[in-house]
Amino acid sequence: MRNLLAFSILFLFLPVSAPSQSAGNASAFGYANFSAQSKIETQFLAVPSARLAGEELKSLTAQPHMAATPEDHRTANYVAKRFRAAGLETEIVPYRVLLNWPKVVRVEAYDPAGHLLMTGPTREHVHGDPYQNNPHVVMPFNGSSGSGDVTAEVVYANYGRLQDFNKLADLHIDLHGKIVICRYGSNFRGVKVYLAEQRGAVGVLLYSDPRDDGYYKGDPWPLGPWRPATGVQRGSVQYLFKYPGDPETPGVASTLNLPVSNRVSPYGSQPHIISIPLSYHDAAPILEALRGPGVPQGWQGALPFRYHVGPGGVRVHLVSRQDYQRRIIWDVIGTVPGTQYPNDWVIVGNHRDAWVYGAVDPSSGTAALLEAAHGIGALLRSGWRPKRTILFCSWDAEEEGLIGSTEWVEQHAKALDHAVAYFNVDVAVSGPDFSASAVPSLKGFIRGIASSVSSPLGGTVYQQWRNSQIHRNEQKTPNIPPAGADQIRVGGLGSGSDFTPFLQHVGVPSTDIGSEGPYGVYHSVFDNFAWYTQNADPHFLYLQEMARILGLEALRMADADVLPYDYAAYAHEIGAYIEAAKSKATQAGLKSLNFAPAAAAAARMATAGEKVRDREMAASGDLVGLNQALRRTEEAFISPAGLPGRPWYRHVIYAPGEFTGYSAVDIPGVNEAIDAKNASLAAQQLDVLTQSLDRATNALDSAR
């Protein structure tokens, strides 16, 4: 689901004290003696094949494979076959979940005299795309859209952010009974619909402005990588920030035998109103006819006319008939049992379902997953066995709302208390620029992995990552000095992919990786094998790179003597979040709030983390006890009561923002209470945070 355009990750410039590892190093954090492991890693790195990854990508993207379709089932069987060939114990795990498929989606626009201005949606087409005419391509629609038939005046709401809707309110524009048109970008599309619904709108049109991922950026497909006129971004508008997964079963797994009586109303996480995605080919006549005030500063897109806010000049008729059924989806789970700590799971995951062909999103991730499994399989044939159990997971129905991963996590919540890491990949390759997000305890770990894998551009992935980061800094933020050698910034985890249930529901330390480039065909028919080989990775070398990184994450974590978590780094980041929240509270006039206890608790945790790090570096003594204490530390961030108003989200340090959706809100209970100017709730959430930091410190202290 990952949308490149929506990333607005908070990068922190903190001194990084985690030990860094580089290729060929004799040591790695978490290992008493790395030389034997280093040989196993070298053996692994030789196996993932660019040629095979390319063949796998071609097979996976031969047909559109939306969740729950026969073509999706075929890809599940294909992945299971490859897992078994690698020697993994493999099962296909079905769930029955509520999904909508479109029966009718129609948009018509009229001028005040009743003349027709447009009808749509127009079929996605360009000159020369070899994949666009397949009858299995689903018409553009939004997952979780309501059904209905409405005719109304239109209002343009820019990106549909909270500040955009506030601006409309300042302009005294009433949205009751209106159809809101928003451009994609900046936040999660479900947030746009949520805010429109709250303000009384009866329908939402979501369109891709050429300024954001079309000709304003560069040549459109098939000349270049950007979105052509008829390209549409499908996507879910589920209210994921309430809870992800099957909308009828929050907190409960939708197994095939789950009684219907255990299901709840889906409107806890679904909109009531219609929403329909549009190309700019179809949106342009509506926007051009729209009258009312000219748009505020920053709202003008790249279509060749002056944009207006509305209402007036055009009326739109929307018809949406969605076929909601409980449908069967299929996760595929491949297991390599661990010899020493079989209950300690190292989980690698990627979703398999695509809106259409999904060459980049998610099939590049699936090809990388398969080649990582291929490499682990070669080690198994040589007699190697991991210390901890490794699970390779191919999730289904991620696009509709992280459904396959969420249901599986809900089913295995108890066992996941022992899981030591979840390594996600979704959009594995859209270009050459490596990027990673992680919990702070694993930022040093992912830097170390990147230092151990070579880049197709020469040097290590770590070096290329650093180069591209410095390059982007210089372009975007000239006042910020380039990052130092050990200061590659690793982003925080928000939402928008399958790490969400692992980290934010049950507290499994997680990472997410990708290799990025110009990518304007997200969730359209044009995200296909032809686009991929022309624009992203013609020789599949980046698929190979991502397979190596992903497999090495699993391997190094599974065999570590000591779990390579850096809790001093984690505590320092939390300390910075508390400082930032404090200045925000002061600005908001909430002067009575006392941040000192939470700040002191973060400082105590940092001290405890530094002491434990010495023991981790030594990797000697009672390792079982040390590892248990380290694992309990992340668990300390899980609050059983969950966040205020959204109990499914239980991590007190990270959650998707209610108004951003994709990007993380740090210490969300505290920050969202400050945003709402609710001082008593903020004080209560500061207590929850302080207690959780103290639990983490106690866990770390118990290891000494």
407 is catalytic: no
E-state strands within 13-88? none
Q: How far is the CB of 534 from Zn ion (least distance, A)?
A: 21
Residue 396 or 658 having the CB closest to Zn ion: 396
Residue 96 or 523 having the CB closest to Zn ion: 523
Three-state DSSP state, 332? strand
Residue 284 or 359 having the CB closest to Zn ion: 359
Stretch that binds Zn ion, among 30-38, 91-99, 357-365, 644-652 (CB under 5 A): 357-365
Residue tagged active-site, from 41, 56, 124, 398:
398
Q: How far is the CB of 302 from Zn ion (least distance, A)?
A: 26
Q: How far is the CB of 496 from Zn ion (least distance, A)?
A: 8
Stretch that binds Zn ion, among 205-213, 424-432, 544-552, 563-571 (CB under 5 A): 424-432
CB within 8 A of 270, min separation 6: which ones? 144, 146, 238, 239, 247
- DSSP letters for 430-489: SSSEEEEEE-GGGHHHHHHHHHTSB-TTSSBHHHHHHHHHHHHHHHH-TTSPPP-TT---
| Burial class, 257, CB count within 10 angstroms (exposed 0-12 / middle 13-18 / buried 19+) | exposed
E-state strands within 65-127? 89-110, 116-120
Size of the site for Zn ion (CB under 5 A): 4
Question: Alpha carbon 332 to chain centroid distance?
Answer: 20
Q: How far is the CB of 532 from Zn ion (least distance, A)?
A: 14
Binding characters for Zn ion, 370-389, by CB under 5 A (x = yes): --------------------
Q: Which two tokens stand for residue 679?
A: 């001082």
Residue 1 touches Zn ion, criterion: CB under 5 A: yes
Residue 338 or 362 having the CB closest to Zn ion: 362
Residue 243 or 519 having the CB closest to Zn ion: 519
Q: Which two tokens stand for residue 673?
A: 């209470």
d(CA 410, CA 593): 36
The candidate with the shortest Cα–Cα distance to 455, out of 433, 428, 473, is 433
Q: How far is the CB of 361 from Zn ion (least distance, A)?
A: 4
Residue 355 or 540 having the CB closest to Zn ion: 355
Residue 354 or 655 having the CB closest to Zn ion: 354
Q: How far is the CB of 97 from Zn ion (least distance, A)?
A: 17
Binding characters for Zn ion, 494-533, by CB under 5 A (x = yes): ----------------------------------------
Helix axes 162-170, 189-198, angle to 10 degrees: 30
Q: How far is the CB of 1 from Zn ion (least distance, A)?
A: 4
Instruction: Out of 164, 197, 246, 361, point to the residue binding Zn ion (CB under 5 A).
Output: 361
Binding characters for Zn ion, 305-344, by CB under 5 A (x = yes): ----------------------------------------
Is the bond leading into 121 cis (omega within 30 degrees of zero)? yes
Single-letter code of the amino acid located at 600: A
Residue 41 touches Zn ion, criterion: CB under 5 A: no
Q: How far is the CB of 494 from Zn ion (least distance, A)?
A: 14
Is the bond leading into 259 cis (omega within 30 degrees of zero)? no
Q: What angle do CA 685, 687, 690 make, to 5 degrees?
A: 115
Residue 209 or 426 having the CB closest to Zn ion: 426
CB within 8 A of 599, min separation 6: which ones? 575, 578, 579, 582
Residue 102 touches Zn ion, criterion: CB under 5 A: no
Q: How far is the CB of 2 from Zn ion (least distance, A)?
A: 5
Residue 397 touches Zn ion, criterion: CB under 5 A: no
Residue 362 touches Zn ion, criterion: CB under 5 A: yes
Q: How far is the CB of 497 from Zn ion (least distance, A)?
A: 6
Q: Are 139 and 320 in contact (CB under 8 A)?
A: no
Q: Which residues pair with 179 in a beta bridge?
A: 154, 203
Stretch that binds Zn ion, among 160-168, 172-180, 211-219, 361-369 (CB under 5 A): 361-369
Q: Which of residues 577-636 bind Zn ion (CB under 5 A)?
A: none
Residue 401 or 575 having the CB closest to Zn ion: 401
Residue 426 touches Zn ion, criterion: CB under 5 A: yes
Stretch that binds Zn ion, among 27-35, 332-340, 426-434, 571-579 (CB under 5 A): 426-434
Helix axes 623-635, 679-701, angle to 10 degrees: 180
Binding characters for Zn ion, 271-310, by CB under 5 A (x = yes): ----------------------------------------
d(CA 280, CA 303): 8
Residue 129 or 361 having the CB closest to Zn ion: 361
Residue 17: count of CB within 10 angstroms of its CB: 15
Q: Which residues pair with 207 in a beta bridge?
A: 183, 278
Stretch that binds Zn ion, among 290-298, 301-309, 330-338, 355-363 (CB under 5 A): 355-363
Residue 2 or 613 having the CB closest to Zn ion: 2
The four Cα atoms 298, 299, 300, 303 give a dihedral, to 10 degrees, of 140
Q: How far is the CB of 482 from Zn ion (least distance, A)?
A: 31
Specify the residue for token string 């599986």.
408
The candidate with the shortest Cα–Cα distance to 17, out of 549, 561, 440, is 440
Handedness of CA 285, 288, 293, 295 (dihedral sign): positive
Q: Are 411 and 255 in contact (CB under 8 A)?
A: yes
Element (H, E) at 365: helix 364-381
Active site residues per annotation: 398
Contact residues for Zn ion, defined by CB under 5 A: 1, 361-362, 426
